[in-house]
């Protein structure tokens, strides 16, 4: 009977329907997976963090002077469009700006919210910090003297500053009224990576400072000047301590001596110079039987001697 059933047309119909359903679901599953993969590619999101983006402050520049805020922010960009994102990452093609609007704010301290403006469609941004504290004061100008002081750590060991000259003697400083009252002078600042062991001449920045050297927020006009610094070695004049060694010749009763110079110049650090009061030299009289001149080398610890040798004139006195 079973064999008869397998030979019936209905059996073949059932088998055909079964395989048709299997093929249908397989095709549906494949299409769904393909569609999901395509959707995933279309909606892929790219991101990039840009540091040190300048903050553009909108305010009444004729009336106010602002200070006390961070000049840069960090911007986090996201987009599904890689080309547009790359365009905003590149500073040369960038369209967006970070701005803070203080157009209607009066003198005092304000907490300004930061916004990213100018973004193209399909690009989103988050700025950090969200806001900055800004001091707003009434704008004022005043003329100040230009000075320059070279810090000791920027003078090489064994040297001292002999003379300092600046290209200009006075400048105009713009700031708020309160800050102007704190300014003592404008400093011509030698770059911090310079350590002087020879004369210097170059262009340096100008900074408004208080009497204790604190840098104060301001605009200095002009912002730079020529700076010339003359340095010289630390030196000291000391006597020569000459020692006579050797054996006096049998036909002589004495040998006298005279130095070509009684003192020499030594150079070194201030500590080394303080520790020295003379230099040493030794002349050997062995074999000397008549008047003669000898060259003697000089020595001393940790300093340079100028000159390093002197002439000793020996005068022989016969029996």
CATH code at position 90: 2.170.120.30
Contact 124, 78 (CB under 8 A): yes
Residues 273 and 309 in one domain: yes
The reply to whether 192 falls in a domain is yes
Helix (H) / strand (E) element for 124: namely strand 123-128
Q: Is the pLDDT of residue 49 over 70?
A: yes
Q: How confident is the model at residue 98 (pLDDT cuts 50, 70, 90)?
A: very high
Residues 220 and 239 in one domain: no
Which DSSP string do the residues of 174-233 spell out, in sequence order? Answer: EEEHHHHHH--EEEEEPPTT--BSS-EEEEEEEEEE-TT--B---EEES-EEEEEEEEEE
- Boundary-marking domain end, from 213, 233, 253: 233
State the residue range of the domain holding 293. 235-318
> What is the domain count for the chain?
3
Q: What is the mean pLDDT of the chain?
A: 89
Determine the pLDDT at residue 69.
Answer: 84
The reply to whether 32 falls in a domain is no
Q: How confident is the model at residue 6 (pLDDT cuts 50, 70, 90)?
A: very low
State the CATH number of the domain containing residue 243. Answer: 2.170.120.40
Residues 6 or more apart whose CB falls under 8 angstroms from that of 129 comprise: 70, 73, 114
- Boundary-marking domain end, from 233, 262, 292: 233
The 10s digit of each residue's pLDDT in 278-319 is 999 999 999 999 999 999 999 999 999 999 999 999 999 998
Residues 156 and 215 in one domain: yes
Report the range of poorest mean pLDDT among 13-22, 138-147, 273-282: 13-22
The reply to whether 70 falls in a domain is yes
CA distance 3 to 161: 119
CA distance 206 to 189: 6
More confident residue, 256 or 5: 256
The pair of three-digit structure tokens given for residue 106, joined into one six-digit string: 């009066």
Q: How confident is the model at residue 70 (pLDDT cuts 50, 70, 90)?
A: confident
Residues 241 and 314 in one domain: yes
Residues 133 and 152 in one domain: no
Arithmetic mean of pLDDT, 85-114: 92
More confident residue, 68 or 182: 182
The reply to whether 101 falls in a domain is yes
Determine the pLDDT at residue 18.
Answer: 56
The reply to whether 41 falls in a domain is no
The reply to whether 27 falls in a domain is no
Q: Is 102 exposed, middle or buried (0-12, 13-18, 19+ CB in 10 A)?
A: middle
- Boundary-marking domain end, from 137, 165, 184: 137
The reply to whether 14 falls in a domain is no
Phi-psi region of 122 (alpha: psi -120 to 50; beta: other; left: phi over 0): left
Arithmetic mean of pLDDT, 233-251: 94
The 10s digit of each residue's pLDDT in 157-197 is 999 999 999 999 999 999 999 999 999 999 999 999 999 99
Arithmetic mean of pLDDT, 71-95: 95
């Amino acid at each position: 009977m079973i064999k008869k059933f397998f030979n019936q047309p209905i059996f073949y119909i059932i088998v055909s329907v079964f395989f048709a359903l299997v093929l249908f679901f397989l095709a549906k599953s494949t299409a769904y997976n393909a569609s999901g993969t395509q959707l995933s590619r279309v909606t892929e999101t790219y991101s990039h963090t840009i540091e040190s983006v300048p903050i553009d402050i909108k305010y009444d520049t004729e009336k106010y002077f602002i200070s006390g805020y961070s000049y840069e922010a960090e911007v986090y960009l996201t987009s599904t469009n890689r080309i547009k994102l790359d365009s905003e990452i590149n500073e040369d093609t960038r369209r967006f700006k970070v701005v803070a609007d203080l157009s209607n704010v009066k003198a005092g301290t304000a907490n300004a919210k930061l916004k990213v403006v100018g973004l193209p469609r399909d690009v989103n941004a988050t700025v950090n910090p969200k806001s900055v504290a800004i001091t707003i004061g009434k704008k004022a100008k005043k003329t100040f003297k230009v000075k320059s002081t070279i810090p000791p750590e920027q003078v090489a060991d064994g040297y001292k500053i002999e003379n300092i000259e600046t290209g200009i003697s006075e400048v105009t400083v713009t700031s708020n009224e309160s800050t102007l009252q704190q300014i003592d002078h404008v400093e011509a600042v030698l770059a911090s990576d310079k350590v002087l062991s020879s004369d210097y001449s170059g262009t340096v920045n100008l900074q408004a400072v208080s009497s204790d050297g604190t840098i104060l927020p301001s605009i200095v006009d002009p912002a730079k000047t020529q700076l010339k610094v003359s340095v010289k070695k630390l030196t000291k004049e000391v006597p020569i301590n000459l020692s006579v060694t050797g054996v006096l010749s049998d036909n002589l009763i004495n040998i006298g001596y005279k130095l070509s110079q009684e003192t020499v110049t030594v150079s070194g650090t201030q500590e080394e110079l303080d520790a020295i009061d003379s230099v040493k030299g030794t002349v050997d009289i062995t074999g000397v039987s008549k008047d003669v001149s000898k060259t003697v080398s000089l020595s001393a610890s940790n300093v340079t001697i100028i000159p390093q040798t002197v002439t000793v004139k020996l005068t022989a006195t016969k029996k």
